């Protein structure tokens, strides 16, 4: 926030060998090799956290609905697209499918249609939560409620007070006349303090 406000951190003995004035020129000890913005090879994919809600899933589409949606495409594309929606997918697998569709020899409009088709009709894989307490259907709502209640335990809301006799809230840039002197009011952020 202020110039030189990190000097006390930089001066800590843990960072004694760091040359802060040349840090932007040094090569980091590990440089990840990624192929694109969507490359997630450095993330653990064994048990990903679910990004699909149980409440969103509706009835599965009928074979007739799927066939009608794929009528504009040739038989080969229809078979591939049906395979995409029959296989369970999560967000990682869905991105993989979208990259495959991008490689098809067809116009961009058809590619976008197929991607939307897979998103709409695809069966979303439901992942179990990593937290063992949240896996139990009876216990999970109680655990979540307790965690919400305790999330900010020990924190209080404190409003900044101006001086003696000042009026509560004020806006940035508003003028307040005191006698003949004009004074600018400043709005200060509320602060959290730990007990």
Q: DSSP letters along 107-173, please?
A: -HHHHHHHHHHHHHHSPBPPPPPSSHHHHSTTHHHHHHHHHHHHTTTTEEEE----STT--S---TT
Q: What is the pTM of this model?
A: 0.40
Question: Does pLDDT of 130 surpass 80?
Answer: no
CA gap 85, 93 in Å, rounded:
11
Please report the pLDDT score of residue 51 as a whole number: 43
Handedness of CA 108, 109, 110, 111 (dihedral sign): positive
Structure tokens at 193: 């303090």
Spatial CA neighbour of 83 closest among 75, 91, 72: 75
Average pLDDT, stretch 3-31?
A: 85
Please report the pLDDT score of residue 112 as a whole number: 92
């Amino acid at each position: 926030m202020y110039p030189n406000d990190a000097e006390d951190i930089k001066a800590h003995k843990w960072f004694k060998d760091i040359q802060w004035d040349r840090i932007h020129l040094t090569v980091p000890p590990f440089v990840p090799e990624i192929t694109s913005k969507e490359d997630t090879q450095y993330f653990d994919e064994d048990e990903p956290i679910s990004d699909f809600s149980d409440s969103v899933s509706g009835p599965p589409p009928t074979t007739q609905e799927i066939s009608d949606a794929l009528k504009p495409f040739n038989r080969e594309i229809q078979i591939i697209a049906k395979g995409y929606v029959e296989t369970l997918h999560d967000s990682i697998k869905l991105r993989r499918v979208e990259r495959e569709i991008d490689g098809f020899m067809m116009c961009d409009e058809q590619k976008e249609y197929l991607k939307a088709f897979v998103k709409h009709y695809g069966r979303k894989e439901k992942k179990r939560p990593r937290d063992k307490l949240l896996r139990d259907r009876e216990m999970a709502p109680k655990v979540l409620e307790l965690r919400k209640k305790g999330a900010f335990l020990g924190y209080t809301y404190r409003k900044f007070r101006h001086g003696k006799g000042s009026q509560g809230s004020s806006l940035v840039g508003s003028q307040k006349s005191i006698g003949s002197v004009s004074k600018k009011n400043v709005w200060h952020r509320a602060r959290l303090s730990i007990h």
